[in-house]
Structure 1
Amino acid sequence: MLNWKVLNENLGSDHLLIKISFSCISSVRMTSKRNFKVANWEKYTTSLNEYFAQISSSISNESVQSLYDTFIRVVNKATDEHIPILKTVTDPNKCFQPKPYWNPSLAKLVAQRRLALSQFRKNPTPYNLNILEGKTLEAKEAIRQAKTTDWQNYCSSIDEQTSSSEMWKRMRWAKGFGSPNTNSQVSSEQKVELLSNLTPRLCSFGDARVSFT
C-alpha cells in the first residue's frame, strides 16, 4: 500500500517536501562478511599448519569427500579464530549523530521556519509570506555561520603537536569517513538532554507561543 503527503518543510527551497511511504515484504538477506583488514594472518597460518599436522597421519584411508570436508572444517575453524566478522549496521537510526555545529538555537530557528511555513499554507497572505521568507533567510544564514565557525575551530585545533595518526583520522573525517573525535563517549543523560534541547516543546512565533506535543 502506497501513501504520500506534503510536509510543512521546504529546506529553504521553493518546493515542499513530499513524504512517500509504502509497505512491502523485504527479501533482503543479511550475509556476514569477514574484516580482512584486522585479520591476524601470522596466527592464521600457524593454526592451519598445526591443524593439518594433527590430521595428516589419518588421511590415508579416507575418501576424497571426507578429505574435502576435513579441509573445509579446518579452514573455517582457523578463520573463526583469527579473522573477525565485519560488523553490519542493521538499524542506522541507532548510529545517528547530530552535526558538531548543531545546537538548540539552530533547532529553534528551524522550528520557527516550519511554523511560518505552516501559517503561510493555512493563510497565504503577503504578510505571512514576508514572515516565511524572513524566517527562511534567518535560519539559512545561522546554519551557514555555524558551519563556518565549526570549520574554523576545527582547522585551528590542528597544530605542530597533532600526531600523525590523529591527522589521518581528521583527513578521513574531512572526506566523510568516521568522526573527528572517535574517542568521545556520550552518556545517556547527555543524549536525553541534547534531544530535549533540539526538539523544544514550545516555540515562539511573533506574539503567539505554540506548544508541540
Structure 2
Amino acid sequence: PMKLRPLKILQWNARSAIANKQNLEVCLMNEEIDIAILSETWFKPNIDVKFKGYNVVRMDRKDGKSGTAILIKTEIPYSEIKKLHKIKDLMLVGIEVNLHNGFKCSIISLYNSPTNNISYRDWDKLINSINGQIIFAGDFNVHNQAFGSSYTDSKGRQLLDAIQDNNLVYLNDGSPTIIGNIRHKNKSAVDLTFCSPNLASKFKWTILEDDMGSDHYPIIIESNLYLIENMKRRPYCKWDTKKADWNVYRNSFNVDHVNSLTYEEFINEINDASQKAIPLKKEVRYQHVKCWWTKECATSITKRKEALKRYKQHPNMNNFLMYKRQTALTKKVIRESKKQSWQQFCKNLNKNVPIKTIWNKIKSLGNQIVYNNILEKGDWIYDFLYKLAPDYVENKIDFNINNSDNKHFLLEPFELNELSSVMKSQNNSAPGIDQIQYSLIYNLPLPCKLTLLSIYNEMWMKGEFPSQWKNYVVCPILKSNKPKENCSSYRPISLASCLLKTLERLVKNRIVWWLEINDKLPKTQYGFR
C-alpha cells in the first residue's frame, strides 16, 4: 500500500558529518526530514557510515575531506542517478524520487571546493544531463549578489548564466548561508538551491537559526509536493509470546468441535485464541530517541542557538567569542553524555542481561541498523528477485507421481509421538506470513494437536497441500563489506510457515531413520548425520 507525504528537505554544509553526526541526527528527528542534501561530509571511502532510518548515497574524496551525500528516509522509494556529466574535482551525487501525479524529480547534491573554477560550458552540460524536474543544491563556493553575497566573482557569473539559460530558478532569499567572522564583513551565500520553474512556487526556503557545529547555516526546504511513500509491513513477529498467558490460550479452544475443522478453520481458531491470550508486539520502524540523550544535551543546544542569535543581532568580538565557546561546550556535553551512557551500561552488565538488549545498546551508540523493508532501495532488487525466480522456471510442474497400492512405512500416517517429538525439538524462530509461531503450535491443547495430526495425515495421504504454503517472506541480508547497490551483495533468508516446517520435519525424521536403520548412507558420510 502507498500513502502520500509532503516533501521536506534539509540542505547543509556539515563541515564534517562525522564530527557533527549527533547534531545532524537530532535535526533529522526534530524537523522530520525526508531527504538531506549534505556538503563537506568528510566521510572516509573505506568506512560505512549509517544514519538510523535513512539510506545514504554518497561520493567521497580519497583523503576523507570534501565529499557530498544524500540521506533518504527508508520508506521513500528512490534510484541513484548514474549518468551525470562529470566535472573534475566536483563532488556530485543524484537520486530520482517519485512524486504524486506520476512525475519524477531528480535531486542533485554537490560540493565544489573554493579553488575549483567550473566553466559555463561544464555547468550547462551537467544541468542538461539531468532528466525531469530538478532540485539542484549544495555548496557551490561561488559568489553572486543575485544569490545574496556581498560581491560577484567570475565563477558566480558563469553559474548564474548557466542557471538562467537552462530556465532554473534559485530559491535563496538573499540570506547569508555562512556564519561570518567578526573580522570579515562580507556576506556569503554559497549554499545554493535551484529547481525547475514549475516547482519554484511549491517550496518554502528558510535558514535554520542554529549552526549545528558547522560554520554554515542549515537550510530547511518545505514543500507542498507529495512523495509516494511505501508503508512498511512487518509480516512476522506479530505475537509477543514472551508475555503470553498459555493457560488462557489453551482454554480458549472449543475442544468439542475442533476435530472437524479444515486447515483454514484451524488457523483461524489459533489466531482467535492468540488474540485472547497474547499481546501484539508494537510495530516501531526505528527508535528516534537516543539512549544517551539528556536534558543537559537539550539545554546546551538551546544555549548555542541563543548565542548565535545574539551574535547575529549584535556582531561584536565579545558575542562572537561567546558563541564559539558555547558551540565547543555543546559538542563536549553531547560527547560526555554518550560516554557516560556507555559506562553506566557496562557497569550494569551481568549474565542475566539478554543478548538482544546488549546489541540494541551497541547499535544505538554506533548508529547501526538492519532494515527489513528493501523493496524501495534501488534497481538491484529487481536483479535479486530475478535470481530467485527466473522466467525459465516453470510455474507448475507435473511430477507424474505413481500412486502405487504398495504399502511402505514411509507412506504410513504419522503418529502423535512423532508430532510430539518434532514439537519439542523446534526453537521459536520467526514465522511465515500466517503469523503462527512454533510456541503457538507447541502449546496447543491435546485435542487440537490430534486435529493438527489428522490434517497433516490427510495432506500426506492425498498429496495435496495448502496453496498458502507456496508463499514465503524473503529477506535480503546484506553481506559484510559488500556494496549495497549490487544484487549479489545480498543473501536471501526465506521465512516459511511454521506449520509447513513442522510437517517437513515429520517427513525428514522418518526418512533419516529409515536410511540409518537400513544402512543406506555411505560410511564415509559424516556431515548432517
Q: How does the TM-score come out when normalised to structure 2?
A: 0.24
Task: Specify which structure has the bigger relative contact order, considering alpha-carbon pairs within 8 angstroms and separated by 6 or more residues.
Answer: 1
* Matching residue of 1:176: 363
* Matching residue of 2:215: 14
Identity of aligned residues (%): 19
Amino acid paired to 1:14? D
Change (3 A) 1:88 1:7: same
Quick one: distance in 1 between partners of 2:210 and 2:260?
Answer: 68
Amino acid paired to 2:218? L
Change (3 A) 1:5 1:101: closer
RMSD: 4.0
* Matching residue of 1:78: 270
Change (3 A) 1:2 1:19: same
Q: Which runs of 5+ in 2 are unaligned?
A: 1-201, 365-529
| CA shift for structure 1 position 169 | 4.3
Tell me, yes or no, if structure 1 residue 35 matches structure 2 residue 237: yes
User: Is the Cα–Cα contact under 8 Å of residues 292 and 337 in structure 2 kept in the other structure?
Assistant: no
Quick one: distance in 2 between partners of 1:118 and 1:106?
Answer: 19
Amino acid paired to 1:156? K
User: Is the Cα–Cα contact under 8 Å of residues 51 and 74 in structure 1 kept in the other structure?
Assistant: no
Tell me, yes or no, if structure 1 residue 134 matches structure 2 residue 325: yes
Quick one: distance in 2 between partners of 1:77 and 1:28?
Answer: 32
1:112 aligns with one of 253, 278, 303: 303
Change (3 A) 1:154 1:123: same
Change (3 A) 1:107 1:80: same
1:163 aligns with one of 326, 347, 351: 351
Amino acid paired to 1:173? N
3-state SS of paired residue (2:336):
helix
Change (3 A) 1:170 1:53: closer
Instruction: Tell me the matched-pair count.
Output: 152
3-state SS of paired residue (1:33):
coil
| CA shift for structure 1 position 7 | 0.7
Quick one: distance in 2 between partners of 1:98 and 1:123?
Answer: 35
Quick one: distance in 1 between partners of 2:339 and 2:257?
Answer: 58
Tell me, yes or no, if structure 1 residue 5 matches structure 2 residue 233: no
| CA shift for structure 1 position 52 | 6.8
* Matching residue of 1:54: 260
* Matching residue of 1:148: 339
Q: Greater helix percent: which structure?
A: 1
User: Is the Cα–Cα contact under 8 Å of residues 8 and 114 in structure 1 kept in the other structure?
Assistant: yes
Amino acid paired to 2:220? K
* Matching residue of 1:194: none
User: Is the Cα–Cα contact under 8 Å of residues 209 and 308 in structure 2 kept in the other structure?
Assistant: yes
Q: How does the TM-score come out when normalised to structure 1?
A: 0.52
Amino acid paired to 1:33? P
Larger-gyration structure (1/2): 2
Tell me, yes or no, if structure 1 residue 87 matches structure 2 residue 87: no
Quick one: distance in 1 between partners of 2:256 and 2:240?
Answer: 22
Quick one: distance in 1 between partners of 2:235 and 2:313?
Answer: 52
User: Is the Cα–Cα contact under 8 Å of residues 7 and 19 in structure 1 kept in the other structure?
Assistant: yes
User: Is the Cα–Cα contact under 8 Å of residues 34 and 86 in structure 1 kept in the other structure?
Assistant: no
Amino acid paired to 2:282? K
Change (3 A) 1:89 1:147: closer
Q: Greater strand percent: which structure?
A: 2
User: Is the Cα–Cα contact under 8 Å of residues 119 and 128 in structure 1 kept in the other structure?
Assistant: yes
Amino acid paired to 2:308? L
User: Is the Cα–Cα contact under 8 Å of residues 294 and 337 in structure 2 kept in the other structure?
Assistant: yes
